[in-house]
Amino acid sequence: MILSQAQAEAVYSAMCALNNIGAHTDSFKLPDDKTVTLYGSEGSVGVSVKLRTIESYDSQAAFADAYNLQ
């Protein structure tokens, strides 16, 4: 897993908060050139390092499952 547990929890919490108010973002930039990208029309999530996608999830729920957040 690319993200630390704390990073995954913070990103997922932010995703949920944005969902709750009907807002969105395209990405979350993290230290060490890590980026979590949200593909709005597809609902998928990508985790990349230095612009190279390392992890890919079909949905926010799949991201949460992979990091044991639910």
Q: Would you list the domain boundaries of the chain?
A: 5-66
pLDDT of res. 59: 94
pLDDT digits (tens, 9 = 90+) for 33-67: 999 999 876 689 999 999 899 999 999 999 999 99
pLDDT of res. 36: 97
Is the pLDDT at 27 greater than 90? The verdict is: yes
Q: Are 44 and 58 in contact, with CB atoms under 8 Å apart?
A: yes
pTM here is 0.90
pLDDT of res. 42: 66
* Cα 55–Cα 40–Cα 5 angle in degrees, nearest 5: 40
d(CA 66, CA 68): 6
pLDDT of res. 40: 74
